[in-house]
Amino acid sequence: MSSMDLEKLKMTGAGRAIAVLTSGGDAQGMNAAVRAVTRMGIYVGAKVYLIHEGYQGLVDGGDNIKLAHWHSVTNIIQQGGTVIGSARCKAFTSREGRLGAAFNLVKRGITNLCVCGGDGSLTGANIFRSEWSNLLAELVQKGRITDTLAKQHDHLNIVGLVGSIDNDFCGTDMTIGADSALHRITEIVDAIMTTAQSHQRTFVLEVMGRHCGYLALVSALASGADWLFIPEAPPQDDWEDRMCARLEGSRIKGSRLNIIIIAEGAIDRKGEPISTNYVKDSSKLGVEAVVALMEATPHTPACVIGLSGNHPVRLPLMECVEMTKLVQTAMNEKRFDEAVKLRGGSFENNWNIYKLLAFQKPAQSQSDHSLAILNVGAPAAGMNAAVRSAVRVALAHGHKVYAVSDGFQGLANGAVSEMQWHSVAGWTGQGGSLLGTKRTLPSKYMDKIVDTIRKYGISALLVIGGFEGYEGVLQLFEARSRYDELCIPMCVIPATISNNVPGTDFSLGADTAVNAAMEGCDKIKQSATGTKRRVFVVETMGGFCGYLATSTGIAVGADAAYIFEDPFNIHDLKTNVEHLTEKMKKDVQRGLVLRNERCHEHYTTDFIHKLYSSEGKGIFDCRVNVLGHLQQGGTPTPFDRNFGTKLGVKAVQWISERITENFRQGRVFANSPDTACVLGLNRKVIAFSPVTELKDVTDFEHRMPKVQWWYNLRPMLKMLAKYQTSFNEYVPGEIEHVTRRSLSIDSGF
């Protein structure tokens, strides 16, 4: 972090007041945002007010605007909806209403407002901000406030957090609530699929999204749906006949289920709505918000906090709103191709991949090349989705595809079988590894592996797996000088709940694992409802890597998360246990302490349990829970399904290109470092990193990258648990600009 960033973070909120409200349709995650804004605000020394019932509460004032304390937001992080309420408010649309709202704020000295809502709510906030000085002047003129008070509060800072399940806001990759909505839809589709399979039926499912097909599109990808209707891309005029023909065709090929997904606002090319009934008859960031508010000057435009990949960014509020409106205009004017583009690169990419994988197209020509796919390491959610898309895209490229059971060991033993389009039907939503996976490294079987490659004429390898998958490909690469057969393109798709593979910010399965661990912790905390005060010590997996413990800790509001990368000693443990004991003496009922399985050789889970039990005697009792393999999560989350699907596509596209480039004198001969790569997501960019380059940045003893991006989330975890922590390591969100060209600040992935 630059020294300038450090300067920026010496912020103080002393003498300042922040108010937070939620507005519009409620969305899961709003409570986590309210908690983070409240605690970060108090942490920097500001007064924080919670405005109940959205803009209505702001207009009505009185008890609707309450001064918040640290504990006002205790135990809300896991609750759905919004605990401070969200009402539709007609009064705020009038100047009279906004005059009342301004009075209610200025009277309390509030000049910083954080609004969590959809584009309508955020547009309202911006109007309020632009009128602020006029409103104060009118209040002075009417004798409701003094001129001095008006002068002291002459500027209102606004920061928006986009809360909307539709993910319909330009500029951010993901709105608050969209991911939870996808989880619900995916659960429903999974349940329906079981029924559909047993009855050989076609199911038509309508999902929310009046003006935006995001939820429908991503659900269709996550479920491998057969047909999809979204407002941005209406079907061709003869869609009824084509849809029936395709459904019939897949039934003849033995498919027992068909899923059709319709977005609420789906239309045909003439702009007429497509309803589920008609189809039946014819066949998815509060800390950053406070940092932005504290840094705002009268000249800073109102901003909205969005996500670019996994990083918070600040975007000019009104430009985002304008871009969002442009999409709607394009749809109204039937410029559908432009509407899909305006939604952003990620949306467009989802749409293209959906079209690529939904139904079988004959390969343009046979390539005479064979691709072998294997899983390595422990099972991770999303592996099967990656195998499915890789198999299908490879077949579409005309390659022969071999599935290898049991990792490198299976490759050595010739456990190889040829795959067809339908061999991978229904794999997207399945957990575990359907191919069969093993951790063993190839070094001990090199000769036998080479024999199999020769025997089957394998011209490329796709390894979907964890740290050993990467290490294994590095071993194969280093053996190229001894075996010509290993001079073939090799790609690793990182897949492990530990998220410890170099070359990527995220591995497949990590999202599912955090969700599973989070759900486990929520249930564990709930188990103590109504009992006496209790502290839970929860052990998480991840090997030496603390990603899972840290991310889960933030998601569940843990009091501490012990990890190997953030060394701790007996003094730290003492401070933590005393801190928690003080909290439990007050009105806190439950405590949660996470411990990564390999965070410390001697301070074991049992040791920490005994320490907390002993020090808490008479104040709280202590229980241990080892989450274990349930962290593998069963069925994959929508994120892992889609991430796996996309990585599978990208990997095979890359492999096909390398095959073509390195095909000479009748054979593939690829021996340069850039032909053995890890495919990863770095910030928002998809990158292929040569395993040889990654070797220098790998801590092989502890099976992890030497530098890990998520480490700067640690101060936030500690701050939110009220520890005196230095925030100097926090990296503030960058300011991005939304222009027509950079509209898709997302990865385009």
Nearer to ligand FDP, 86 or 430 (CB): 430
Nearer to ligand FDP, 231 or 377 (CB): 377
Nearer to ligand FDP, 64 or 500 (CB): 500
Whether the CB-CB separation of 705 and 544 falls below 8 Å is answered with: no
Q: How far is the CB of 500 from ligand FDP (least distance, A)?
A: 5
Rg of the chain (C-alpha set) = 27
The secondary structure of 152-188 as a DSSP string is HT---EEEEEEB-TT---TT-S--BTHHHHHHHHHHH
Q: How far is the CB of 562 from ligand FDP (least distance, A)?
A: 16
Of 260, 617, 679, 311, residue with least CA distance to 464: 679
* Cα–Cα distance, 37 to 244 (Å, whole number): 51
166 among known catalytic residues: yes
The secondary structure of 102-132 as a DSSP string is HHHHHHTT--EEEEEE-HHHHHHHHHHHHHH
Nearer to ligand FDP, 135 or 474 (CB): 474
**CA atoms within a 13 Å half-sphere pointing along the CA-CB vector of 75:** 11
* Cα–Cα distance, 731 to 745 (Å, whole number): 19
Whether the CB-CB separation of 222 and 428 falls below 8 Å is answered with: yes
Whether the CB-CB separation of 289 and 125 falls below 8 Å is answered with: no
Query: Which chain residues interact with ligand FDP by CB under 6 A?
Result: 377-378, 466-467, 496-498, 500, 541-543
List of residues 6+ apart from 147 with CB closer than 8 A: 140
In sequence order, the β-bridge partners of residue 720 are: none
List of residues 6+ apart from 44 with CB closer than 8 A: 11, 12, 13, 290, 294
Sheet with 590-596: strands ordered across: 560-562, 590-596, 534-540, 621-626
Q: How far is the CB of 375 from ligand FDP (least distance, A)?
A: 11
**What's the distance, CA 600 to chain centroid?**
29
Main-chain dihedrals φ then ψ at residue 577, nearest 5 degrees: -70, -35
Nearer to ligand FDP, 431 or 543 (CB): 543
Q: How far is the CB of 290 from ligand FDP (least distance, A)?
A: 33
Nearer to ligand FDP, 77 or 537 (CB): 537
* Cα–Cα distance, 526 to 524 (Å, whole number): 5
**Is residue 195 packed enough to be buried (19+ CB in 10 Å), middle (13-18) or exposed (0-12)?**
exposed
* Cα–Cα distance, 648 to 628 (Å, whole number): 28
Q: How far is the CB of 70 from ligand FDP (least distance, A)?
A: 33
Long-range contacts of 12-15 (CB under 8 A, 24+ apart): 12/44, 12/45, 12/294, 13/41, 13/44, 13/45, 13/46, 13/290, 13/294, 14/45, 14/46
Nearer to ligand FDP, 222 or 497 (CB): 497
Nearer to ligand FDP, 545 or 651 (CB): 545
Q: Which of 166, 173, 505, 746 is catalytic?
A: 166
Cα distances (Å, whole numbers) of residue 505 to 311, 641, 676, 728:
11, 17, 19, 22
Nearer to ligand FDP, 384 or 498 (CB): 498
The b-or-e profile of 626-661 (16+ CB within 10 A means b, else e) is ebeeebbbebbbbbbbbbbbbbbbbbbebbbebbee
* Cα–Cα distance, 357 to 49 (Å, whole number): 50
Q: How far is the CB of 539 from ligand FDP (least distance, A)?
A: 11
Whether the CB-CB separation of 279 and 262 falls below 8 Å is answered with: yes
Whether the CB-CB separation of 538 and 593 falls below 8 Å is answered with: yes
Whether the CB-CB separation of 428 and 397 falls below 8 Å is answered with: no
Nearer to ligand FDP, 289 or 627 (CB): 627
Q: Which two tokens stand for residue 508?
A: 């497949």
Instruction: Return the SS3 of 562.
Output: strand
Nearer to ligand FDP, 380 or 719 (CB): 380
Whether the CB-CB separation of 691 and 679 falls below 8 Å is answered with: no
- Residues that are catalytic: 166
